[in-house]
Amino acid sequence: MPTTLSTDVLIIGGGIAGLWLNARLRKEGFATILVESATLGGGQSVKSQGIIHGGAKYALHGALTGASEAIADMPRRWREALAGNGELDLSGVGLLSDAHYLWSPGTIAGNLTSFFASKAVRGRVDQVKGDQLPPALQHAKFKGKVYRLAELVLDVPSLIKRLAVLAGDSLLAGQRIEPLFEAGKLSGLCVDGRDIRAQRIVLSAGSGNAQLLQTLDISQPKQQLRPLHMVLVKGPTLKPLYAHCLGGGPKPRVTVTTHPAADGQWVWYLGGDIAEGDAMDRDSDAQIKAAQKELGDLLPWVDLSNAQWATLRVDRAEPAQSGLVRPDNAFLTDAGSLLVGWPTKLALAPDFADRVLATLKRDGITPGAASELPDLPRPAVAEPIWESVF
Ligand code: FAD
């Protein structure tokens, strides 16, 4: 198989960052090849909760100061794409909820005062009551306050499927990656013995970036992993709930999203504080017990006696200096022909692509002479986690 291919942009990693970027570049007329070593979306992306944040969550602890940050514009950009009139045509992608809710079970006035004072949420948050409450909270015993945030929740598996369609013939299943040098400069990569030359190479491999950088003998940027221990509950009596439940601290006590399983039942997917910190020291049984207690305290009217429970450990991959980087922008850095980054959120995939496009523009990279692509071995799309864990 001694084929040599030429392309404009070679992308490594087919999660949301690589797939969204690939579709944007193709739309701009660039030739691309996207290499995926496992399944499309199967890293963090299909394990995400699918919330398209507008930054409201960060306003809770003052990390978001204004509307200038990229994240504030994400719900609009995604909404337009979903309607088929945005930067990508994502019509057909499942919208699970057109709002995410903020739910305060008690009186957490301190947090909420600074939250509502923040410019980032002003005019974008409405209190809801009665039959406007999320179905799972519509109960006589429910006492808290609920605010509607103008944030979307997406069905991520259908998003990944759609982006795989928009990728056309550019997808390549490949595992073994080695650098190709010409005149001492990185000119492409050799993927499973196939040489691919490119004007630019983008590493968007999530937690795989660290290993790829090592293979290329590059020491920066450094990556950090943030481990999570998520909980999934599936049951015949569950009703939809998309909400951050506030606790005393800056982070949501629990963040609940709801996903449709193939057998018609709903699955609650639980993240937030319950999936971090001490959760890492709990084994699966102890983590399930902790979640059962939390749901029992917060939603005592929900009958979970016939529910099935599972946990999922997954690492979030981010740039190591993320303590210094604002939580509301994607991260991209470049050196020579190599660009490396992490979107840091599913919601920020459009910002990640913007940053790559801006770098190409800065460097005067335009669509060039690319090879006709032969039939390439194609990676599969990851299956929804709520189908694989139960
Ligand atoms: P990934 O999705 O991890 O994709 C990287 C891909 O690269 C994988 O498919 C992997 O197989 C591939 N790869 C790795 N190494 C190689 C290699 N050597 N060669 C080829 N391919 C390779 N964000 C939000 O905005 N909203 C949310 O609600 C949200 N919830 C989350 C919940 C959880 C539990 C987690 C873990 C994250 C959540 N996030 C959320 C964050 C979001 O999921 C990630 O920021 C985003 O999915 C990262 O996308 P990515 O494409 O960079 O990485």
User: Looking at ligand 1, which atom is closest to the CA of residue 51?
Assistant: 28
pLDDT values of the chain reduced to their tens digit, one per residue, 390 residues: 557 999 999 999 999 999 999 999 999 999 999 999 999 999 999 999 999 988 776 665 555 554 447 888 899 999 999 999 999 999 999 999 999 998 888 655 545 655 555 555 555 678 899 999 999 999 999 988 898 988 999 999 999 999 999 999 999 999 999 999 999 999 999 999 999 999 999 999 999 999 999 999 999 999 999 999 999 999 999 999 999 998 877 778 999 999 999 999 999 999 999 999 999 999 999 999 999 999 999 999 999 999 999 999 999 999 997 555 556 789 999 999 999 999 999 999 999 999 999 999 999 999 998 889 999 999 999 999 999 999
Strands annotated E in 120-207: 125-128, 145-149, 152-154, 171-173, 177-182, 185-191, 194-203
Q: Which of 19, 45, 244, 255 to mutate to test the pocket of ligand 1 (most atoms within 8 A of CB)?
A: 45
Q: How far is the CA of 107 from the centre of ligand 1 (A)?
A: 35
Does 171 contact ligand 1 (Cβ within 6 A)? no
Confidence at residue 67, expressed as pLDDT on a 0 to 100 scale: 42
Confidence at residue 247, expressed as pLDDT on a 0 to 100 scale: 80
**Structure-block tokens of residue 330:** 């994607």
Confidence at residue 110, expressed as pLDDT on a 0 to 100 scale: 45
Does 59 contact ligand 1 (Cβ within 6 A)? no
Q: How far is the CA of 206 from the centre of ligand 1 (A)?
A: 5
Confidence at residue 72, expressed as pLDDT on a 0 to 100 scale: 82
Amino acid sitting at position 339: L
Q: How far is the CA of 306 from the centre of ligand 1 (A)?
A: 32
Q: Which of 159, 311, 345 to mutate to test the pocket of ligand 1 (most atoms within 8 A of CB)?
A: 345
Q: How far is the CA of 30 from the centre of ligand 1 (A)?
A: 24
Does 327 contact ligand 1 (Cβ within 6 A)? no
Q: Are strands 152-154 and 95-97 parallel, antiparallel or unpaired?
A: antiparallel
Confidence at residue 145, expressed as pLDDT on a 0 to 100 scale: 86
> What residue spans define the domains of the chain?
4-45+159-222+322-389, 91-153+225-316
CATH of domain 4-45+159-222+322-389: 3.50.50.60
Confidence at residue 68, expressed as pLDDT on a 0 to 100 scale: 47
Query: Looking at ligand 1, which residue's alpha carbon is closest to its atom 47?
Result: 45
Confidence at residue 137, expressed as pLDDT on a 0 to 100 scale: 95
Polymer length of the chain: 390
pTM of the predicted structure, to 2 decimals? 0.95
CATH of domain 91-153+225-316: 3.30.9.10
Does 45 contact ligand 1 (Cβ within 6 A)? yes
Question: DSSP secondary structure string, 225-266?
Answer: EEEEEEEEEEETT-----EEEE-SSSSEEEEEEEEE-TTS-E
Confidence at residue 384, expressed as pLDDT on a 0 to 100 scale: 98
Asked if 47 and 314 count as a contact pair (C-beta separation under 8 A), the reply is: yes
Q: Are strands 266-271 and 243-246 parallel, antiparallel or unpaired?
A: unpaired
Does 204 contact ligand 1 (Cβ within 6 A)? yes
Does 15 contact ligand 1 (Cβ within 6 A)? yes
Q: Which of 34, 35, 48, 229 to mutate to test the pocket of ligand 1 (most atoms within 8 A of CB)?
A: 48
Confidence at residue 115, expressed as pLDDT on a 0 to 100 scale: 58
Give the other-Cβ count within 10 Å of 258's Cβ: 23
Distance of CA 43 to CAs 275, 290, 320, 338, 340, Å?
Answer: 18, 26, 18, 22, 17
Question: Which residue in 299, 249, 237 sits closest to 270, CA to CA?
Answer: 299
Q: How far is the CA of 133 from the centre of ligand 1 (A)?
A: 31
Q: How far is the CA of 41 from the centre of ligand 1 (A)?
A: 7
Does 38 contact ligand 1 (Cβ within 6 A)? yes
